[in-house]
Structure 1
């Protein structure tokens, strides 16, 4: 049995960052940038009005209330550039400023003195005007050549909106890791609505892991179940590898019982068992191996929370490495109450991060920490990690707190 830190180093050493591929921007949501992006234009691309009103030339001077102007023209959003002249132009929000004009007066701050065919021809100011007001300057948001996104950044909707605005139609992203999920056990029933016979349980680990892998940035190319049979296991493993899986995650059959066949089956295929059993709870029997073709194999225990811990703290760090993401940042928050833990084991507890009436954050470890319990997973919004030393973490101790997934920040809830 090895420490978590040693196991993590083995995982990272076995993981090689994936190459880049180019995608249309509209297909790149949630993907990881493979290279920096510099803007090829200024944003805004031209000086434009921030208000509906009248554009005029201040040239650094202020104007008093009562100052009158002749209206020389009209400029709407989408109109080409125009020569501003000495008077004022009626202008719409977002419209390009006529050349030479540098200030906008909101329409509610002018009095229409004369009009023709429904268009104002002469106005007077109702209030003083400062030079340069209500104008969005070219490049005020983004300058031409500015780096706007860095390699390793995930393309969320905000990033994609900016790229669209500066005219980027295609991006280089890191290829998605291809994953497979294998649930083992003759007791498993795959259909949720199917009635159970004596001794059967529903296969909830497989859909959980498929969802978690997808949320973490992987493409699940194969999934299935297999009974406690080495030949059948090898057959589904062959299917998963034929589908292109670079990373395989199984649940069950990794402990020390009569039907825990996965370690021997992997050795029989020529796999290198990197480690088997880690000083953690839940999930101690976890196995990691490298298959002859270089694919990475994670053998997670069958209890649902043990499988969830294996996914979150073993599989997801590897996914971050494959996706060229920086090491995950974590919170340090105080415990609300004393927490008992197994001595000598790194403990991963389902918890709630809560905010009190003064805006202070703290972590509450939930009751029902046994590895078979699903309700506490539903109630949790975070993981609390207690290091291996000792058997008690006192209230007020600052502990490591991580979101339910590496892409998912903690969703705060009010303290009960």
Structure 2
């Protein structure tokens, strides 16, 4: 990972309309141009009083000078009480809002102004939202590297921000190798399989904040692979991902094909299972190349734990924080290899969250993986991990926390 991430940093910053910012990562700090609330206002429907900073006793009576609704501008006059609606700006002298449930309307005297009586004591400052109480003006509200979700969108819109500086999405090409691969929807000839990894990587890249600019299937011929790689490089990609052809078999041609292009090998093979044969090289043309194994779960593990940290650095984000939960049942793994298991998170009736490793962890099995919701990783030195041990838990994307379910 250190070799892959050496020199990796925020690629570039671009400005987008607010509506296009959801799911992106902020490229710069966001500073509030206004205060929130922008003015003192009523927290609920009721009556605003000018008390002079003094508590007002139960039973005191007040004459209503005017009604103030949201969007109105109250007059600066000598009145002492106003009917007011939630969110309406307070008159300059008002310092209490009494909820409508805590007042009694009195009979109008001789066609005079409406009058009310307090049903309980009212304290200065009650039920008032002060200017800047939520967000002071000119403060940093969202840091660079923050993922923009629904909650962040609500804040940005509330601040009146219509354009946002975001990190440029890393541009990625996907080359799926193997003459046995057939597109979903096409009939399977003898010996063929449907291409599962290309659609998976296209979706996973989008979820991880990247853009899959090219997704193609190539056979096992070096010339076809080199041509596809040249086309991908012409698209101006930052990263090329391949699947298959990186192990030690007769058709595993990618390492030698990249050697022939003058690429610099960074590593070939990692102590990780599944995903051990993964290959990484720096292309002479500039982009990075990561060759993922062809078995579907090997592809998924290599992408999540080797590629996503790189994408995260290119998006200008800090290293992912660790999350640990107790293991529900003991599990075993091969000593000397880091292990990634797909799992589910379940919370029992007492509020205890535990992680359940899937029973079937073979790298070709798609169904158990589809029923899981998280990854757990176990250190290389462990061979047997007892129930109750705290293990690292990871979402399926670095930008999305794992969901949990009732036990």
TM-score above 0.5: yes
Structure 1 pair 367–120 and aligned structure 2 pair: CA distance change class (3 A): farther
Q: Is the contact between residue 80 and residue 94 of structure 2 (CA under 8 Å) also seen in structure 1?
A: no
One of 86, 97, 103 as aligned partner of 2:79: 86
One of 76, 82, 100 as aligned partner of 2:69: 76
TM-score by length of 2: 0.96
Question: Using the alignment, how far apart are the partners of 1:245 and 1:119 within structure 2?
Answer: 76
Show the 5 A alignment for 1:7-406.
8-13=1-6, 15-114=8-107, 121-190=114-183, 192-406=184-398
Q: CA deviation at 1:404?
A: 1.3
Residue number in structure 2 paired with 1:3? none
Q: Is the contact between residue 114 and residue 120 of structure 1 (CA under 8 Å) also seen in structure 2?
A: no
Q: Is the contact between residue 147 and residue 399 of structure 2 (CA under 8 Å) also seen in structure 1?
A: no
Q: CA deviation at 1:119?
A: 11
Question: Using the alignment, how far apart are the partners of 1:10 and 1:205 within structure 2?
Answer: 25
**Cα shift readout 1:129-175 (whole Å, capped 9, x = no counterpart):** 22221111111111122221111111222112212222222222211
Q: Which runs of 5+ in 2 are unaligned?
A: none
Aligned-pair RMSD on alpha carbons? 1.7
Q: Is the contact between residue 35 and residue 135 of structure 2 (CA under 8 Å) also seen in structure 1?
A: yes
Structure 1 pair 286–122 and aligned structure 2 pair: CA distance change class (3 A): same
Residue number in structure 2 paired with 1:5? none
Residue number in structure 2 paired with 1:4? none
Question: Using the alignment, how far apart are the partners of 2:76 and 2:114 within structure 1?
Answer: 17
Q: Which runs of 5+ in 1 are unaligned?
A: 1-7
| Deviant stretches of 4+, over 3 Å | none
Structure 1 pair 390–162 and aligned structure 2 pair: CA distance change class (3 A): closer
Question: Using the alignment, how far apart are the partners of 1:302 and 1:119 within structure 2?
Answer: 85
Q: Is the contact between residue 221 and residue 244 of structure 1 (CA under 8 Å) also seen in structure 2?
A: no
Alignment: residue pair count: 406
Q: Is the contact between residue 21 and residue 175 of structure 1 (CA under 8 Å) also seen in structure 2?
A: yes
Question: Using the alignment, how far apart are the partners of 1:193 and 1:30 within structure 2?
Answer: 30
Corresponding residue SS for 2:228: helix
Question: Using the alignment, how far apart are the partners of 1:159 and 1:335 within structure 2?
Answer: 33
Question: Using the alignment, how far apart are the partners of 2:241 and 2:14 within structure 1?
Answer: 25
Q: CA deviation at 1:371?
A: 0.5
